[in-house]
A and B are shown apart, each in its own frame.
Chain A
Amino acid sequence: MIKSQEIGSLKKPAWLLASLKSENIEEKEKAKDDASYINLRRLEDIGLDYVYDGEAKRIEMYEQPIREIGGFIFADRIRSWDNKYYRKARCVDEVKYLRNYHKDEFAFVKANTKRTPKIPVTGPYTFMDWSYDEHYRDRSLFLLALSKVVNSVLADLEAMGAPVLQVDEPAATAHPDEMDLFVEGFNAAVRGINSKVTVHICYSGDEYTSLMPRLQSIHASHFALEFANRDSTELGVSSEIRRGYRALEMFREYGSGKELGLGVIDVHTDFIEPPELIRDRILYAIKVLKGATQIVVNPDCGLRTRSRDIAFSKLSNMIKGIKLAEEEAL
């Protein structure tokens, strides 16, 4: 059986955004609970195996935790692309763990799903790379300080019974020359953690060529990666057609014993991938990996940039595509 998961975010419903403007804290919290609950039900109904609440209770993966880590202040927004922006923080003092900023969120997810709950936790390298450092002025020192914070959060989530801890490191391959530093920071963040540690890395400028040779040295058992963004939308299982999946060859070479989170949905387009396309992407991966790797199927990344209708349609087709692939391959 091929398992499925969502990566993290979903677009917030309009009624939630309206409620978040309320002065009434109780009303806001109730709206977040409702949105979290609805997302979990939708993802379960679609048929995902590992579920999370789509960031219903977070602003997003960077700003929310940074607000609750000591040593940072925000420095207004800068552009990510087009008319999308993010608020970038300045580290102006020693980084300090203050609290487990995902505690209430995970407790709610765990209490409200019968599937396997997972919790995404932004990794230290991404925090470092996405922030201005005015205090340490040394990337290694800054990173290791952040690793300690993330380690405390992960340890607390594990103590709460989190079976799957997904460390989000979209910036991991942003600086290929710094991959050893990334590994050092990552491993420090997951030191002593016994729950299943997965890592999500996306939009790799070098198509993961700097990551793959280090798979064995990274203390994670599962790598959720992005491929569909680079792929064609033609049907077929040839390497020419499935050109977005070139990095799988390297995963076969270096990823022995590691589980692969296979990105089969492009999160930056409204094109709803037909089940047959999903099927072919999965079958191609099985072919390249020669059946030696456990595959979990997922979108390339979080779906927050798509409307909810489109996101759920994409996920529904993903489940249908998995079934088609299972019929052919298993």
Chain B
Amino acid sequence: MRCYRLKFFRDNLGMIDMVGSYIFGIYPRSEKLIEITRKRIYAPPDFEEESKVLFDSQREAELTYIQDPLLSWDDMFRPITVNSNGIKPDGINRFFETNTFYRVPLLEGNIDAKEDVLARSLHLGLYKPEDKRMASLPDPLTFAILSKDEHYGDVSLVIAAIGELLSKQARGLNRAGFETLVLKCPAYGFIDLKKHFDRVAEAISSIKRAFIKKVILHIYFKPVKDVELLNELPVDGLGFDMINGSQPLRRMDNKELALGLVNGYSTVLEENIPERVKAILDSINPPRAYVTNNVDLEYIPYKFAIKKLDLLRKAMRRINND
């Protein structure tokens, strides 16, 4: 069996040395943390202890990149909306097609923030020197589309302003030693990307210049129609939700590929990740590939998130023939 596996993957992987893995986005809170946060709304709990457990879980899962589990983030915009000028969290709205809600970022003036707002929301002290640090942020288009603009009056201006704000945060993350930044793009499957493309490319380019190191765009919830446009964006890698819908992929010679095969929206434990990786890499030959979650793990309870991390570790061992 082992010999078969060795041949199976070596034949398949070709130019790729190893397939990496990471889990981006907001992790679920444990039952203990849920009880604390439910009862202490006005006295924020200390998230550090619970975060440490999830840092360790990621190391045990042998992930390539380690990300703060973002347990204190109430939604993907919140650290920014509560700590920046010209923007604040407003009423709640459904987050795409989930049964989860976010507070709408309300833009009511020129938006600006210090460059360490994001970095300060992370538990930098929990990283070990050997950890490869990864952070995730909303991409400028998703942020703009989900905001309520009462100041700029034009979505292009909003994208540009948010791009600038996020660039500052990217610079702060670079200074804090992060080497990979995942830009979360759930809006891409729901809107006409072509319509906003120039502004989006400009904003992402600004983020990339500020971060300098690896930037990966991750599209999820729905397949993006104009997938070829993504290749034109100035990023190092593209990630896709390989569970929801059928995302057509093209050969990728210049960009790394992240395959969202760990379903963050289902308690079913995936059994066929290695086979799916093989099938995909048969036709696409990126310079580097990763297996990741498709969407934030916060949509499944904590104990299932832990199970998925273990499942990913086992799948990666099969894939890389450890």
| Genuine A/B complex | yes
- With A203-B94, A205-B93 known as contacts, the answer to whether A81 contacts B267 (CB < 8 A) is no
| Nearest neighbor of A204 in chain B, beta-carbon distance | B94
Could you list 17 further interchain pairs (A-B, Cβ under 8 angstroms) beyond the known A76-B301, A83-B37, A129-B99?
A75-B300, A75-B304, A76-B31, A76-B304, A79-B28, A79-B29, A81-B100, A81-B102, A82-B74, A83-B74, A88-B301, A132-B266, A134-B268, A171-B99, A203-B92, A205-B96, A269-B91
Q: Which of B299, B301, B303 has the most CB of A within 10 A?
A: B301
- The 10 A-B pairs at the shortest CB distance, nearest first, are namely A76-B301, A81-B101, A83-B37, A132-B267, A205-B94, A82-B74, A175-B97, A174-B97, A203-B94, A75-B301
Closest to A130 in B: B99
Flag whether B272 is at the interface (Cβ < 8 A).
no
Rounded to whole angstroms, the CA-CA distance of A302 and B227 in the bound complex is: 42
For the complex, is B168 an interface residue (Cβ under 8 Å from A)? no
Residues of B within 8 A of A203 (CB): 92-94, 101
User: Is the pair B92, A174 in contact by a Cβ cutoff of 8 Å?
Assistant: no
Q: Give Cα A171–Cα B97 distance, bound, in whole angstroms.
A: 9
> Which of A75, A81, A134, A174 has most B Cβ within 10 Å?
A81
Across the interface, which residues of A come within 8 angstroms of B101, CB to CB?
Answer: 80-81, 203
Instruction: Give the shortest distance, in Å, between B284 (CB) and chain A (any CB).
Output: 27
Q: Is B41 an interface residue (CB 8 A)?
A: yes
Assess whether B241 is interfacial by the CB under 8 Å rule.
Answer: no
| Chain A 81-120 interface mask (CB, 8 Å, partner B; 1/0) | 1110110101000000000000000000000000000000
Is B116 at the interface (CB under 8 A from chain A)?
no
Most A-side CB within 10 Å, residue of B74, B92, B100 = B92
Q: Point out the residues of chain B lying under 8 angstroms from A132, CB to CB.
A: 266-268, 300
Q: Which A residues touch B98, using CB under 8 A? A: 174
| A81 and B103 contacting across the interface, CB-CB below 8 Å | yes
B34, CB-defined interface residue at 8 Å: yes
Given the complex of chains A and B, what is the CA–CA distance between A174 and B221 in angstroms? 12
- Residues 200-222 of A, flagged 1 when their CB comes within 8 A of B and 0 if not, give 00011100000000000000000
Q: In the complex, what residues of A have CB within 8 A of residue B266's CB?
A: 132
Report how far A81 CA is from B37 CA in the complex, Å.
Answer: 12
Complex Cα spacing A176 to B99, Å: 14
| Inter-chain contacts of A82 with B (CB < 8 A) | 74-75, 103
Q: How far is the CB of B36 from chain A (nearest CB, A)?
A: 9
Query: In the complex, A130→B301 CA distance in Å?
Result: 13
- Taken residue by residue from 25 to 46, chain B's Cβ proximity to chain A (1 for < 8 Å, 0 otherwise) reads as 0001101001001100100000
The closest CB in chain A to the CB of B37 belongs to A83
Q: Which residues of A approach B to under 8 Å, CB–CB?
A: 75-83, 85-86, 88, 90, 129-130, 132, 134, 137, 171, 174-175, 203-205, 229-230, 266, 268-269
A53 to B9, alpha carbons, bound, how many Å? 62
**A-B contact list, 6 entries, CB within 8 Å:** A76-B304, A81-B101, A132-B300, A171-B99, A174-B99, A175-B97
Measured between alpha carbons, how far is A174 from B266 in the docked complex, in Å? Answer: 17
**Which residues of B288-304 are within 8 A (CB) of A?**
298-304
Which residue in A75, A130, A175, A269 is a CB contact (below 8 Å) of B267?
A75
Which of chain B's residues has its CB closest to A203's CB?
A: B94
Check if A266 sits within 8 Å of B28, measured CB to CB. Answer: no
Report the Cα distance A80→B94, complex, angstroms.
10
What distance in Å separates the Cβ of A314 from its nearest Cβ neighbour in chain B? Answer: 15
A268 touches B267 (CB 8 A): no
Chain B residue contacts of A80, Cβ below 8 A: 99-101
Of A82, A229, A268, most buried by chain B (CB within 10 Å of CB) is A82
A266 with B75: CB separation less than 8 A: no
Asked whether B301 lies within 8 Å of A78 as measured between CB atoms, the reply is yes
Minimal beta-carbon separation of B238 from chain A (angstroms):
24
**Residues B78-128 near A (CB distance < 8 A):** 91-94, 96-103
When the two chains form the complex, which single residue of B37, B102, B267 contacts A134, counting CB atoms closer than 8 Å?
Answer: B267
Q: Across the two chains, which residue of chain A brings its CB closest to B98?
A: A174
Could you tell me if A77 and B99 are in contact, using CB atoms closer than 8 angstroms?
A: no
Q: How far is the CB of A233 from chain B (nearest CB, A)?
A: 11
- A108 to B41 CA separation, bound complex (whole angstroms): 35
Give the complex CA separation of A229 and B267 in angstroms: 32
B43–chain A nearest beta-carbon distance, Å: 12
Per-residue interface assignment for chain B, residues 64 to 83, with 1 indicating a CB less than 8 Å from any chain A CB and 0 otherwise: 00000000001100000000
| Per-residue contact bits, chain B 139-152, to A (CB 8 Å; 1 contact, 0 not) | 00000000000000
CB distance from B76 to the nearest CB of A (A): 12
Central interface residue in B41, B97, B298, B300, by most chain A CB within 10 Å: B97
A229 to B92, CA, bound (A): 8
Cα-based distance from A85 to B266 in the complex (angstroms): 17
